[in-house]
Structure 1
Amino acid sequence: MDIVDIKLKIENKIIDLTNPDKLLWPEADITKKRYVETMTVLAPFIIKYSKNRLLTAIRYPHGIGGKSFFQKEKPDNTPEWIKTVKFNDKNYIVVNSAATLIWLCTQAVLEFHTSFNAYNNLDHPSHLVFDLDPDDNQDFREVSEIALSIYETLETLGINGFVKTSGASGLQIYIPTASKYDYNSARKLNEFFAQYFIQKLSKKLTIERLKKNRDGKTYFDYMQMWYGKTIIAPYSPRAVMSAAVSTPLEWKELNWARPELFTLNNIAARLEQKGDLFEASLHCKNNEQLDEILKKLNTIN
C-alpha cells in the first residue's frame, strides 16, 4: 500500500507532512504523524518558552536510531513566513508560532534547544539556571535529593525556584530574574550558588568540568547559562528510547519522579491534569533577594 503524504493547515499555512508512518521513536511506537499531532497540542506551551529565543535544532532524519545533526542556520528550504534572526553570522529560526514548530517537526527536528535570552535582549538571560548532571553510575534519586536540598535553601532565602527534568538524565533548576541582570552579573550569582552548594553538599556535588575527575558526583553546571549557549526548552522531546519530554515538576514530585515517566505519549494528559507548572516562572522576579546577594558579592570583590 502506498503511503500518502499529508497536507496540514496550521495558522493558515500549508505544511507538507511526508512519510507520515515513519517511526521516529520505534520503542515508543511514535510515528512522524503521531509526533506532529502531539506537538500540535504542545505548541502553546513550547512557544511560551521559545518565543524570541534563538533555536538550535537537533534533527534525526531517520529517527532516533539514525544519524543526527545540530542546525543553527536555517535550512535552505525554510518557508519565507518563518521568522529568522541574524546572530553571529547565522540566520537562526525563532519558534514564535505553532506553524513554525510543526514545520520543524516535519523536518525531523526532535530536540529544541533555545538561548537563555531573547534575541532582542541579547545580554540579559531571563533566569539563572542550575543544570544538575548525574554521573553515569548515579541513580536519579540522588539527583532528586540534591535538588530538594537546593530547594530548601532557596525557600529559606525567599527565592522562587522552578524545576524540570532535562528529559535525559538530569534536572534543571530555574530562578527567574525578569531579565534584570546582564550575563556577567548573572554568572556571578550562578557561581555564588554553585560554590555554596558544593560546600554544603560536598559528598554529592561537584563543579569539576572533566567527567573523569568528578569522583562519581553530580555535576553542578553553572557555566552553561551564558551568551550564545542554549538549553533544552521546556516541553521539548528528547531523542531517547522512552520519547521523554523535558517536563516541569512540582517539587514534591521529586520524591518519585524519573525522566522516562514523562513522555510524548502522556505529556498531554499531564498538562490537562496539572496545567503548566512553569507558567509562574514567567511572572516572578526574585530581584530583591538577588540584588542583596549581588551587592554583598560586589562588596567582597
Structure 2
Amino acid sequence: MSGNEAGILEIEGNQIPVSHPDKILWPKLKISKLLYLQKLTVLAPFLLPYCKNRYLTIIRFPNGVQGKSFYQKNAPHPLPPYVKTAEKEGVEYIHLDSLSTLLWLGNLAALEFHASFEYIGGDEPAEWVFDIDPSDEEEPRLMEAVAIIGETLETMGITSIPKTSGATGVQIIIPIQTGHTFEELRKAGHFVSEYLVEKYPHLFTIERLIKNRGNKIYIDYIQHGLGKSIAAPYTPRAREDATVSTPLLWEEVKQNINPKLFNLLTIEARLADKGDLISTMEKQDLSRILKIIK
C-alpha cells in the first residue's frame, strides 16, 4: 500500500479499509496514517483490555493533529459487521473489543480513545482514579507532587500506580474489587485531597475554577464518576509529540521522568521491556479504609 490510494488490510478474517495511507497525522514526528495503524497493532494487546466492556469516546482529527477535531460518542453509520456497539441513555457507543475495530477507528483518524469508568451495563467503578492536573503546561513539580500522593495513599494501605495522561498531567490508578460505589470513592477522594491541600497548601489545590488555581497542581477526584471517562492506558494522544498514556514505576516518578519520552515511536520498546504494569497489580478491597473515612 503506497501513495494516497485506498487499500485493504486483512485482520482477524475481516477487511479493514485504509484511505489515504500516506496522510501525515503527526507532522513533527512524520507519522503517517499507515504508520499509525502499524503502531496501533503494537498497542492493541495493551490498550484493548482497558477499552473492552467500556463505553468509548473517541477524538477524531481527519487532517491530523494540526487540523480541526471533534469528539464522537455515537457510532458512525454504516458500521462494518465486526464493530459492536453498546447503548446507554440514547447513545450508541462503540465497543472497542478487537484489533479489527481499533484499526477501523484508526483509519477514521481516531487519535484518542477515552474509556468510561464503569463497565457496559453496570454502575460500579471499574477502578479508582485521581487525575493530577498542573495549572501550567510545563510544571517541574509535577512528579514530586505525584510521588507525594502515592506515598500518602501507601500510608493508608492503598497501593496505586501512576500513568502519564499523555497530555500535561498524570493519573493515579487504584485497581479495586467489586462492591464499591462511585459515591463512596468520591467521599474518599475528597478526604485524601483535602488532607493533601492542608499539608501542602503551596503545592496542591482542589479549586475547580482554573482561574483561581494560580500555579498550584489540581487534584481532581470529582472527574471519577458514573458516565464520565478517562484517557485509556496506552491510548495515543493528539499532541505534537505523539505521546502515549503510559503507566510508570514509582521509582521513575521519583526520578522525575519526562512523560514526553513515551510516544508512538518509542512505546514498543517500553512495552517489550516493562509489559503492562497495571495488570500486575492485585485488585484491592477498600472496605476497611472507606469505613474509617465514613
After TM superposition, the score normalised by the length of structure 1 is 0.93
1:155 equivalenced with 2:151 (yes/no) = no
Instruction: Name the aligned partner's letter for residue 236 of structure 1.
Output: T
Distance 1:89 1:247 in 2: 32
Q: In the alignment, which residue of structure 1 is the partner of 2:223?
A: 224
1:181 equivalenced with 2:180 (yes/no) = yes
Distance 2:287 2:199 in 1: 22
Deviation at 1:78, TM superposition (A): 2.1
Distance 1:55 1:199 in 2: 36
Secondary structure, in 3 states, of the residue corresponding to 1:228?
A: coil
1:93 equivalenced with 2:94 (yes/no) = yes
Distance 2:186 2:14 in 1: 41
Distance 1:179 1:32 in 2: 39
Q: In the alignment, which residue of structure 1 is the partner of 2:135?
A: 135
Structure 1: tracts of 5 or more residues without a match: none
Instruction: Name the aligned partner's letter for residue 256 of structure 2.
Output: W
Q: In the alignment, which residue of structure 2 is the partner of 1:286?
A: 284
Is the Cα contact below 8 Å between 2:82 and 2:100 reproduced in 1?
Answer: no
Q: Deviations over 1:138-176 (max 9, x none)?
A: 52x311001111111222222110110000111000112
Q: Deviations over 1:206-238 (max 9, x none)?
A: 000101101210010001011111110000011
Q: Deviations over 1:118-150 (max 9, x none)?
A: 1132x11111111000012652x3110011111
Is the Cα contact below 8 Å between 2:144 and 2:256 reproduced in 1?
Answer: no
Q: Report 1:45-60 matches (<5 A).
A: 45-60=46-61
Distance 2:107 2:79 in 1: 12
Structure 2: tracts of 5 or more residues without a match: none
Name the % identity: 45
Q: Indicate the RMSD between aligned Cα atoms, in angstroms.
A: 1.4
Is the Cα contact below 8 Å between 1:194 and 1:220 reproduced in 2?
Answer: yes
- Gap change, CA 1:137 and 1:260, over 3 Å in 2: closer
Instruction: Name the aligned partner's letter for residue 19 of structure 2.
Output: T
Q: Report 1:105-124 matches (<5 A).
A: 105-121=106-122, 123-124=123-124
Deviation at 1:182, TM superposition (A): 1.5
Instruction: Name the aligned partner's letter for residue 275 of structure 1.
Output: G
Distance 1:208 1:2 in 2: 50
Q: In the alignment, which residue of structure 1 is the partner of 2:257?
A: 257
Secondary structure, in 3 states, of the residue corresponding to 1:103?
A: helix
Secondary structure, in 3 states, of the residue corresponding to 1:81?
A: coil
- Gap change, CA 1:137 and 1:17, over 3 Å in 2: closer
Instruction: Name the aligned partner's letter for residue 60 of structure 1.
Output: F
After TM superposition, the score normalised by the length of structure 2 is 0.96
Distance 2:250 2:271 in 1: 16
- Gap change, CA 1:265 and 1:208, over 3 Å in 2: same
Q: In the alignment, which residue of structure 2 is the partner of 1:276?
A: 276
Deviation at 1:64, TM superposition (A): 0.4
- Gap change, CA 1:229 and 1:36, over 3 Å in 2: same
